[in-house]
């Protein structure tokens, strides 16, 4: 059984009761963590140019793009480019575009502290973001 519930602007009392009911059945609840076509397109269009480029390049290359392929020069920085993606994901959850269970579709790859060596889109999301980056429709 699959039940999808959307509640827009619930009263505080209703929200409290609904969350209490859901808490009683947490073993049977599976959070929505899927980037759909509509969600991917909405996220892509909400991003600044540099963040869009990360998604487009990674998706078009099968899910991974090296930082060197994104840098315009040897000393150019990618600092903050992927942070815009995380901020847009958070904003989308606040705006109700998708559930807050969705995580950023782009993961920075690197040794930890220091320069990022590349960006990865998980395999499950590559095609949906490739479609979003190459022909976003705004049909949501």
Question: Which range among 29-33, 116-120, 123-127 shows the weakest confidence by mean pLDDT?
Answer: 29-33
For residue 135, give the H/E element and its range: none
Please give the mean pLDDT across all residues of the chain. Answer: 86
User: Which of 53, 31, 51 minimizes the C-alpha distance to 98?
Assistant: 31
Give residue 116's pLDDT band: very low, low, confident or very high (50, 70, 90).
confident
Place of tokens 């575009």: 97
Q: Is the pLDDT of residue 140 over 60?
A: no
* CA-to-CA dists, residue 32 to 19, 43, 102, 118, 133, angstroms: 16, 16, 7, 27, 22
Sheet holding 107-109, edge to edge: 64-66, 118-120, 107-109
Higher pLDDT, 21 or 3: 21
Query: What is the pLDDT averaged over residues 68-78?
Result: 71
- Would you state the pLDDT for residue 44? 96
């Amino acid at each position: 059984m699959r039940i999808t519930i959307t509640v827009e602007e619930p009263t505080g009392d209703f929200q409290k009761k609904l969350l209490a009911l859901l808490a009683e059945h947490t073993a049977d609840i599976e959070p929505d963590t899927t980037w759909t076509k509509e969600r991917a397109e909405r996220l892509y269009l909400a991003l600044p140019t540099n963040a869009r480029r990360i998604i487009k390049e990674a998706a078009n290359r099968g899910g991974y793009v090296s930082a060197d392929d994104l840098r315009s020069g040897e000393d150019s920085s990618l600092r903050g480019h992927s942070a815009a993606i995380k901020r847009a994901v958070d904003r989308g959850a606040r705006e109700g575009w998708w559930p807050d269970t969705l995580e950023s579709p782009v993961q920075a790859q690197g040794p930890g502290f220091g320069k990022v060596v590349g960006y990865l889109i998980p395999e499950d999301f590559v095609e949906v973001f490739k479609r979003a980056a190459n022909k976003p429709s705004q049909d949501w």
